[in-house]
Structure 1
Amino acid sequence: MGFIFIILYFLIVALVIEISVIAFTLTGLEKEVARYQAISMLTSTGFTTDESQLIPDHPIRRRISMFLILFGAFSLAVIISAITNILSDDLRLNKLMIISAVLLVVFILGKTPMTKKLLQHRFEYEMKKNLDISELPIKEALFLEEDDIVTDVAIEENSRLDGKKVKEVFKEGRDVNLLFIKRGEMNIRKELAGEIIQAGDKLYLYGNRQVIEDLTNETESDDPH
């Protein structure tokens, strides 16, 4: 009986994780990222990646993560208690089976297109009501398409861009935008078009990944080293 209890409880944990993954993906997270973060929060381990910042800065994900953290702490106590009392008959298997069945139904419903659509509308409403764009992580605020990225490019000596004006490099129609230039301790944002790029500068860019990679390769190709 004790082993059945543990198996059923692990089934509950697995269903909670998968339901959380569905909820996270409806807020815009990729499934692989959502599952990793859900497991990390539930087990209180590994929640240290750059992607973890996508959770606390988002009001809906923050609520889901709070539940997962609390559920994980509770689950640890339950599993330890079950192992300690593995020979006990009073394991309330009937109630556990009911909980497993309910979660299984929730998981199945969560996979249906209609439920996903309803939840997406609800999440979008919550986002508009509770979150200003200034509170979003930079990736979510600016990543409008799959191939869009925000990155930085360091300008080395003998780079093709060294000594060129910004307006000569970032021409109109090129799918890349210069957000600002970091020069030493100074961030240059005003009147960028007439600014001259210098070795040692770091350019913070936003735009199409391939265009930015091409720009980076052009920069590196002129370095004789």
Structure 2
Amino acid sequence: MAAAISFLIILIISLIIVKIAAIMLRLTGLSDDMAKFQARSAFTGTGFTTTESESIAKHPVRRRIIQNLMLLGNVGIVSFMSTLILTFTSFTDQRDILVKSGILGGGVLVLVIISRTGIVDWMLSGIIKSFQKRFTRVYAKDYDNLLFLEGDYEVVKFQLKADSWLVNRSMQELRLIDEGILVLGVRRDDGYYVAAPRGETHLYTGDEIIIYGREEALKDLSVRVSGDAGDREHHIMVEQQRKREGRGPEKLRASRRAAEAVRKSKGVFGKMFRR
């Protein structure tokens, strides 16, 4: 009986450890599914090699979480298997087999039901976030919520070809914001990264751009070729975006002027504070 109870306790502790690690990874910016996948992989020692694994290895906080999880996983699996072996080798009679099997089966079923309800995740998330705000400087970066990656909106990246409509133009000339598209970053062919490119930033053949917007608009932009045809597609997408936002040309120009005024005011106040 003691071995069966020990088995369930070790199983509960293992599940809690994996959930805590998944929540902590999620708070560093990983998606929920990827955080769970990486936490389970590290705890069980599976060690899948993926692009996300590289992002974990290069991130100091994620790397520390995975290192501790791998260490705890080795200890947990050994203890788990030991108690499991003791449980099945300590049967005395048929009644004892039925009782212990019932305890194990019922305990595992209860754990599965509780883990599926999301109550444990909710409680642990609150505790970890409170601990994080008080004792750490790692800010929560749930990119899915921050960027509203739901419905038609997503973040994609693609490399610019020589015939792309974007090539050899500045951000100011392209006016992608009129299409509802934001350029988050540009990685040059030599590896140099331009974060939040400004109006004077030019795009060239071989650049890899990271953009945010609606799936339809991003797909159209990725295959848009230079020339009159590309210009016409740009105007069509701009008109569609205006209708979607319910703004005419005058309101659109007014919003641009307001945004420009805010940008300039920030620059003035920034200079005052720097002084």
Same fold (TM over 0.5): yes
Decide whether aligned partners of structure 1 residues 184 and 73 sit closer, same or farther in structure 2, where only a CA change above 3 A counts.
Answer: same
Residue equivalent to 1:37 = 38
Q: Are 1:175 and 1:207, in contact at CA under 8 Å, matched by a contact in 2?
A: yes
Structure 2 residue 207 is matched with structure 1 residue 201 = yes
2:200 aligned partner, one-letter code? G
Whole-Å Cα distance in 1 between the matches of residues 160 and 78 of structure 2? 48
Residue equivalent to 2:165 = 160
**CA offset at residue 48 of structure 1?**
2.8
Structure 2 residue 209 is matched with structure 1 residue 182 = no
Q: Are 1:42 and 1:68, in contact at CA under 8 Å, matched by a contact in 2?
A: yes
Decide whether aligned partners of structure 1 residues 192 and 19 sit closer, same or farther in structure 2, where only a CA change above 3 A counts.
Answer: same
Q: Which is helix-richer, 1 or 2?
A: 2
Residue equivalent to 2:85 = 82
Structure 2 residue 98 is matched with structure 1 residue 118 = no
Give CA deviations for 1:70-120 in whole Å, capped at 9, x if unaligned: 3124335x27x939x976669xx9999889877776665555566544332
SS in 2 for 1:161: coil
Unaligned runs of 5+ in 1: none
Say which of 143, 148, 151 aligns to 1:145: 148
Decide whether aligned partners of structure 1 residues 192 and 58 sit closer, same or farther in structure 2, where only a CA change above 3 A counts.
Answer: same
Whole-Å Cα distance in 2 between the matches of residues 68 and 30 of structure 1? 22
Give CA deviations for 1:155-182 in whole Å, capped at 9, x if unaligned: 1112111222222334335232232341
2:199 aligned partner, one-letter code? A
Whole-Å Cα distance in 2 between the matches of residues 142 and 177 of structure 1? 18
Whole-Å Cα distance in 1 between the matches of residues 137 and 105 of structure 2? 34
Q: What root-mean-square deviation, in Å, do the aligned CA atoms of Structure 1 and Structure 2 show?
A: 5.0
1:182 aligned partner, one-letter code? R
Give CA deviations for 1:39-65 in whole Å, capped at 9, x if unaligned: 423331134333445697359965666
- Number of aligned residues: 208
Q: Are 1:12 and 1:100, in contact at CA under 8 Å, matched by a contact in 2?
A: no
TM-score normalised per structure 2:
0.51
- How do residues 50-61 of structure 1 correspond to structure 2 at under 5 angstroms? 50-52=51-53, 53=55, 57-58=61-62
Structure 2 residue 223 is matched with structure 1 residue 217 = yes
SS in 2 for 1:193: coil
Out of 96-105 and 177-186, give the one that drifted further: 96-105
Q: Which entry has the higher C-alpha Rg, 1 or 2?
A: 2
Whole-Å Cα distance in 2 between the matches of residues 99 and 87 of structure 1? 14
Larger relative contact order, structure 1 or 2 (CA cutoff 8 Å, min sep 6): 1
Whole-Å Cα distance in 2 between the matches of residues 60 and 100 of structure 1? 35
Decide whether aligned partners of structure 1 residues 217 and 38 sit closer, same or farther in structure 2, where only a CA change above 3 A counts.
Answer: same
Decide whether aligned partners of structure 1 residues 59 and 128 sit closer, same or farther in structure 2, where only a CA change above 3 A counts.
Answer: farther
Whole-Å Cα distance in 2 between the matches of residues 20 and 146 of structure 1? 28
